[in-house]
Structure 1
């Protein structure tokens, strides 16, 4: 079968590889769609933490069950499924407390182990969700949207709260969409005017703020000087993550959704005088996937316009560099097999 390997920084190669064999508790999935994630792009550029080469990338996966043994989930050959790519141990303190998304031994498919840039992959049955009623495209974007949904759930967002989401990439857009879904008043911040336009059109945010045009003053004006009570930073940019402390209301929460390969420092008096709550949000749980699935199935999330670029699997390598360029205006690229 065919696969694409990231052999080293900036180098992808189409190769022939052996097909997977079935093991107990697993299923063989024939991959049909692969969403391209920021993680894939960061790994390709050499900026992804906890990453080694060579690696088969790809963790936003939709496919069809090719082969499966007896299981208690009712899955069978021919079922369309989404892959939950976070392989947890089930034994550590996080797993025992139901926080499988931050397992101490976490291995993410396509990051810490080989992923879905190939025609078939084996996955534990426990990490498959049947997506009856969804398209393959909708199935593939459940994973990135679930990261946004998890961040919103982690924030304990209340209806009618004022929320700021910094970063209008796919993850930030997912945060915006599910903050709106939860009834919040949402402000989007980014450095790109076209991305801010997309936030208004796709996520239906209430206001936008340009991050390089006196954002503090703009936020103060939009909130009568109170500032947002919940701020999500989905940039993965150290400077933005540092500056975000200044945008949170007194008594508010700051949630880091993006990951950066750097240290973050903050001014402790500002942190204390606000009695600010700082949270990290990592990955997602099956509960988040099912929440997103129902939202998409119910027509509450527009997947069609979320996907802006496409390529067949055999031609993906030729498109990959262009997807990194801002002028390509990529929101979500989708690979079809």
Structure 2
């Protein structure tokens, strides 16, 4: 089978590998579509501190179960599935309180273990979620990115009366916009980005107001409007301090970033407004929720897709995703 392998940082190849066989409790997925995420690019360049090499990358993928291991119901054969990349131990403290996404022994498919940029991928049976027929194969790999928005919103508890500010109109920001508007019915969603093309994508995905913060500070453009809910989907260290200054008293702030750079905020800036800050990593059992939203038409994953590219052209696809944010959003690989 063909697999996209990062042998070492900056060494990307399409390798021929033996088809994997599912062990007990596992299924093998014949992958049909897989979408590129920024973390895949980071693994390629050696900027993901969690990755182990060599690695078959890809954690957003969809396919059909074509083999099952011992203990798995044979009725699973032929089932269309989206794969949750979070593999947890089930017995540590985070797992015991429903937070498997920060399991003490966390493994992420496509990061710690081989992923879905391959003709076949073996995954735990519990991680392969069946999809209803009305979810199109061509967008089914996008269940996973929407679980990121679902997870942070589970903490933030958006309300219709909220005024939401989303930093960043990349894929994470766009999924957040759709979930805030389509699922929670938030009254106003404001989006800030430095690229006009990305701001147009934000409008297309439901943003009520878009602001270019490349030159004019948001504080000036908001003109006293105080967001009650803020999501940092741009993941720059400076954002937290600015968000605390802009937020309404009793506001909630959600962080999705992994930057190792420090940022400076004061206790006073938080406690004077009694702000709540939430952080979110990956997803915690959010696949059924997102699959339901997608099936019911509350979110529209096709609005994120700008390119379909064959697996054989993986380097072109990865480079396009990385280097052309003005015209490119989600790139989906055709396996």
Same structural fold, with TM-score higher than 0.5 when normalized by the shorter chain: yes
CA deviation after TM superposition for structure 1 residue 244, in Å: 2.4
Match of 1:321, SS? helix
User: Would you say 1:54 and 2:57 are equivalent positions?
Assistant: no
Aligned length: 331
Match of 1:285, SS? coil
**CA distance in 2: counterparts of 1:47 and 1:274, whole angstroms:** 36
Match of 2:140, SS? helix
Unaligned runs of 5+ in 1: none
CA 1:73–1:189: 2 relative to 1, 3 Å: farther
8 A Cα contact 1:231 1:247, kept in partner: no
TM-score by length of 1: 0.93
CA 1:330–1:162: 2 relative to 1, 3 Å: same
User: Would you say 1:130 and 2:130 are equivalent positions?
Assistant: yes
**CA distance in 1: counterparts of 2:292 and 2:68, whole angstroms:** 25
CA deviation after TM superposition for structure 1 residue 138, in Å: 2.5
List aligned pairs for 1:267-282, cutoff 5 A. Answer: 267-282=266-281
8 A Cα contact 1:75 1:130, kept in partner: no
CA deviation after TM superposition for structure 1 residue 74, in Å: 8.0
Partner of 2:195: 192
Deviations 1:257-298 (A, max 9, x none): 222233333122212212211110111122x21121122112
Partner of 1:160: 161
Deviations 1:301-322 (A, max 9, x none): 2222311011111122233223
**CA distance in 2: counterparts of 1:253 and 1:135, whole angstroms:** 35
Structure 1 moving runs of 4+ over 3 Å: 69-75
Give 1:206's match in structure 2, choosing from 205, 208, 220: 208
Partner of 2:110: 110
Unaligned runs of 5+ in 2: none
Match of 2:223, SS? helix
TM-score by length of 2: 0.93
CA 1:235–1:117: 2 relative to 1, 3 Å: same
Partner of 1:289: 287
Partner of 2:253: 254
CA deviation after TM superposition for structure 1 residue 300, in Å: 2.4
**For the aligned residues, what is the CA RMSD?**
1.8
Partner of 1:23: 23
Partner of 1:264: 263
Partner of 1:310: 308
CA deviation after TM superposition for structure 1 residue 26, in Å: 0.6
Report which stretch shifted further, 5-14 or 193-202: 5-14
